Amino acid sequence: MTGVEEAYLKRKRASAAAVVSKEDELDEFKAIFDNGSTKVKPQRVTDEDLEFFNSNSGFHSSADLENIQLETKKLKKIDKGKFDKDQMTDSEDEDEDSQDSQDEKEEEDPDYSDEGDLEEDGEELDEEEVENKFIENREHRNWTDFELVRNRLPIKNQDGTVKKITEIQLTPQVRKEQLPFEKFEQSKILTRKEKRELEQTQRKQEAMEKKRMEYEKREEKKNKQKQKKIDEDLMEEEDQDLGDDVIDRDQEQDDVLGGDGSQDDKPMSEADLFLKHQMEVETAKTNLSKLASRILEDPERNIMFIKDIFAICILSQDIIVKKLGVLSLGAVFKDIIPGYKIHVDKGNSTLERVDGKVQKVKYSKEIQQAKQYEAKLMKFYQTYLVFIENTIDICLNQQQAHSAAVKSATIFSSFVRKGEFSIREYGGLLLQVIKCAATLLVSHPHFNFRTNLVTIVTRFSVYRDNEVSTLCISHIRDLFKQDTTGGETSLEVIRNISNVAKVTNYMFDPRIIRTFMVLRFNDLVEKVNPYGTSSEEYASMLDKKKKLSNKERKLLSHNDRKEFRKEKKLEQEMEEASAVYSSKEQKYIQTEMLKSVFLTYFRIIKRAPHSLAMTSVLEGLARFSHHISVDFLGDMLQALSTLMENQVTTLPNALNASITAFKTVKLHGHTLNVDLKDYFSKVYSMLGQLALPSQQHVCVLALNALQLMLGERKQTAVERVAAFIKRVAIISLSTPPNASLAIISFIKHLFVIYPQVQRIIENDGTYTGGEYNFDIEDPDHCNPFATSLWELSFFYKHWHPAIDPVAKRTLAFNERASELVGREKTPPEIFELYDTSKGGFNPPIKIPADHPLKLRAKKLEEEKLKAKGKKLEMLEKQKVFVIPSSQYPKSSFLTDITKQVQEFDESSVSFASYFTELKDYEQELKLSRQLKRLEKVKIIATQQFKLKQQSKESKPQPQQPQQPSKTPTTTKATTKTTKKQSIKK
């Protein structure tokens, strides 16, 4: 076998080369599968072999590969025989020459026929049958051909006046003779095509059936297998039994492959291609599912089938199948990985597995089996991880190459050749691979090779593709939420994330930092100084456990010492075995976690104050601030204050920073009571943003921060508190009602704590410090007592039902307020309670009470029912009508209105008479106007008449064209026209 040598060389080259080409990679993987037995070297991967691998997925799995070699040889022989047969019947796909010629024919034929067809249309009408056939053929033909022909049409003339030289030379007779032949050829080809397709589909179906049969057979075998217990022998048997089936299948799939080969040259319709592709995917799916379910049925015995899935996954040319393979492998591993970490014995156990019988350490049979299984599992898992990493590398390389290629402006289509995938497909594959890695990490964080998964997932959490990074981040969050390793994995992830953040120069997705918020630290955690030395207690604790103090040791007798030693050993073993993490261990781990979280935070604060993640960092700090130790307090406050001075630009950042500062100061305030003035002025100056609609979500945060700053202890200057109250009250005018309500109740809360501030409600004009400066940035200098809290009076008549009682109580200015406050909800609670951000009314609108008439009607009905219980049926038939007039005097509304109307009638002038008067007046006016007009007309008419008479006397005037008129005057029509003209003049 020359292929073997080639492959071997290739493999060598591949291992040397940094970038692994696709085929080489395949070889490598095959080599990985076959490792252990060096007898068989992987063959060179040809298409046949790929098919072979695909088809023999069940058969290949035995460890003994000599059989395979034999089988392949056999197969090849049989294949060749089959090919010869195929050549007789089908168009041969293997022999390229014949195929090419055929293809040429196919390409040329339609043109010829069409030419003939067109000629016929013009000249020979008698051969209708032929024509029909042609039309049918044309319909069968691929549309691309048709398109091609139509493009050529204009060149030829249908009438036959202008013809190409070649066509002119052909006489109609010759054409007649030629045509049937062509048609025959055409039909033959077509039928061949159809036949082939049909056969292919049939074969596929057959193959499917056979596979099913095979599977059933295997099932039977498995049952037998259960009786015997040695795997490998059975596998061999199975292989031999399956041999025939496999051969058949192989041939068929070769045929299918042939179809694939021809598809490049031969025009195949899109639909067919699609169908074929679908079929392939479907078969792969069924294969995968079968294998996977087999493995899951009995993982200890059937673990070798993982190899087959690998084979499908690696050898498949189809990206979807590849993806499916990767995913199903991931799922299988997820299910079969045990709930403990596998302890790897170096040397012995692997030796045992390979040689089968060499045993240095004696174990019971069961343990031995379990060990073997574990070793296999480990091996496969490792291979899988290697595969994942390689795939990621390939994908990234391809994407890089693509981007480079795009820059050099090559045609994109050149990338989508056979065996290569488009850039998007690589992206998809990458996503799936990372999905597998992430799910494995989350579901089995305790298992071996965790670090690899952690690095993959953290690395891709900052990947530029949003889908990938989102996936990673969500999985990291899941891991933080439910870490079964007691925090070890989380610690690893956190450290990795901080490294990744460093690498990306802190310009990364803030969601990654936000995942820290999910972390939960229990009470065991000690206060943390991230820049301090690591907690040595744990290490020292471990040492102490093993040693006794000298004094104690001296006191012990010889026997006691022995016993003590034994006990110690036992304890140690027990500890190792116990799945529960001791409190000290947990304390250590959690402290370390917290420390690395803080370290990440402060790195970002100090080195990248303009990072996008700043908001998340400050949020996280605010959340975990109670874990910061006293030693670090000073440094932290310094870092924060520089941040506050220069870099904080948004309100939430300012609020979060001040929450952090105030919380820590409050926690460690006993050392020194400090006044955090910078924070006050920063928050004060930025608080105005709260009124913006875009900042509404900050409201709760702001209320919490202000509560912490002002409401906790009674130590802020009154002026400052008043300034804050005034500013917050101004803001409350432009916030939604629930926020306003929360703010008002917060003001009330402050009034209780600082009773002196209440004088801001009433301004008696005696303040001499100056005017109120609402636009100044320092709360200490804005003179809040120069103004009053007029804003609250707006809430006196607010439409929101919950606001005005609170506003009234706030303005009530009484000392009992302190008693009332204790029973009420805190401002943030109120904010949530009346939240209307999801639409609707909160509290809901009250349904108005029933109209008194309705109530009355109900009463009447009831009374009647009670009184005339006997005539109940009668009453039901007679409906009760309530006559409004009878209720008229009892409705307060109606009486009110009638009263008002009566009063009005009495007091005012009656309008009716006024209107009639007006009408009369207008009529008179109209009449008088008409009269005047008529008089004018009369005068003019008489004048004209006189003129006419005069002219008639002197000269007979030429007659002028007369215009018709529509004036509704009462004078006679004959005189009208002349009159009109004269008026115009």
- Site of interaction with another protein (CB under 8 A): 634, 637-638, 641, 671-679, 715, 717-718, 769-771, 773, 778, 780-781
Cα separation, 574 vs 364, in Å, equals 22
771 C-beta neighbours (distance < 10 Å), count: 10
Distances (CA, A) of 454 to 222, 440, 447, 449, 622: 38, 10, 12, 9, 27
Q: Which is nearer to another protein, 504 or 763 (CB)?
A: 763
What's the closest the beta carbon of residue 770 comes to another protein, in angstroms? 5
What's the closest the beta carbon of residue 644 comes to another protein, in angstroms? 10
The interaxial angle of helices 2-16 and 22-34, nearest 10 deg, is 100
Under DSSP, the state recorded for 696 is: G
What's the closest the beta carbon of residue 771 comes to another protein, in angstroms? 5
Q: Which is nearer to another protein, 720 or 727 (CB)?
A: 720
What's the closest the beta carbon of residue 682 comes to another protein, in angstroms? 12
Tokens matching residue 736: 């939604």
Q: Which is nearer to another protein, 764 or 906 (CB)?
A: 764
The interaxial angle of helices 737-753 and 699-706, nearest 10 deg, is 0
Query: φ and ψ at 317, to 5 degrees?
Result: -90, -10
Tell how far CA 415 is from the center of its chain: 29
Q: Which is nearer to another protein, 221 or 781 (CB)?
A: 781
What's the closest the beta carbon of residue 672 comes to another protein, in angstroms? 5
Give the H or E element holding residue 796: none
What's the closest the beta carbon of residue 638 comes to another protein, in angstroms? 8
CA angle 219, 300, 30 (to 5 degrees): 85
Q: Which is nearer to another protein, 782 or 811 (CB)?
A: 782
Q: Tally the residues of the chain.
A: 985
What's the closest the beta carbon of residue 671 comes to another protein, in angstroms? 6
The amino acid at residue 440 is: L
Query: φ and ψ at 528, to 5 degrees?
Result: -115, 135
Q: Which is nearer to another protein, 363 or 531 (CB)?
A: 531
Q: Which is nearer to another protein, 23 or 778 (CB)?
A: 778
Q: Which is nearer to another protein, 773 or 965 (CB)?
A: 773
What's the closest the beta carbon of residue 634 comes to another protein, in angstroms? 5
Distances (CA, A) of 318 to 312, 331, 421, 429: 10, 20, 9, 11
Cα separation, 820 vs 809, in Å, equals 9
What's the closest the beta carbon of residue 765 comes to another protein, in angstroms? 12
Contacts of 977 (CB under 8 A, 6+ apart): 962, 963, 964, 965
Q: Which is nearer to another protein, 105 or 677 (CB)?
A: 677
Residue 628 DSSP SS3: strand
Q: Which is nearer to another protein, 46 or 638 (CB)?
A: 638
Q: Which is nearer to another protein, 671 or 943 (CB)?
A: 671
Cα separation, 736 vs 842, in Å, equals 12
Cα separation, 511 vs 109, in Å, equals 63
Nearest to 32 by CA among 341, 342, 381: 381
What's the closest the beta carbon of residue 641 comes to another protein, in angstroms? 6
Q: Which is nearer to another protein, 328 or 716 (CB)?
A: 716
Cα separation, 459 vs 438, in Å, equals 11
What's the closest the beta carbon of residue 650 comes to another protein, in angstroms? 22
The amino acid at residue 762 is: E
What's the closest the beta carbon of residue 715 comes to another protein, in angstroms? 7
Tokens matching residue 368: 């031995």
Tell how far CA 283 is from the center of its chain: 30
What's the closest the beta carbon of residue 722 comes to another protein, in angstroms? 12
CA angle 833, 835, 837 (to 5 degrees): 160
Cα separation, 676 vs 636, in Å, equals 13
Side-chain half-sphere exposure of 365, counting CA atoms within 13 A: 2
Distances (CA, A) of 262 to 255, 394, 417, 722: 11, 29, 15, 87
CA angle 916, 920, 926 (to 5 degrees): 145
Residues 79, 250: contact at Cβ < 8 Å? yes
* Secondary structure string (H, E, C) spanning 1-37: CHHHHHHHHHHHHHHHCCCCCHHHHHHHHHHHHHCCC
What's the closest the beta carbon of residue 784 comes to another protein, in angstroms? 13
What's the closest the beta carbon of residue 665 comes to another protein, in angstroms? 8
Q: Which is nearer to another protein, 384 or 662 (CB)?
A: 662
Q: Which is nearer to another protein, 469 or 758 (CB)?
A: 758
Q: Which is nearer to another protein, 535 or 647 (CB)?
A: 647
Tokens matching residue 931: 């009269």
Q: Which is nearer to another protein, 341 or 713 (CB)?
A: 713
What's the closest the beta carbon of residue 755 comes to another protein, in angstroms? 12
CA angle 161, 164, 165 (to 5 degrees): 115
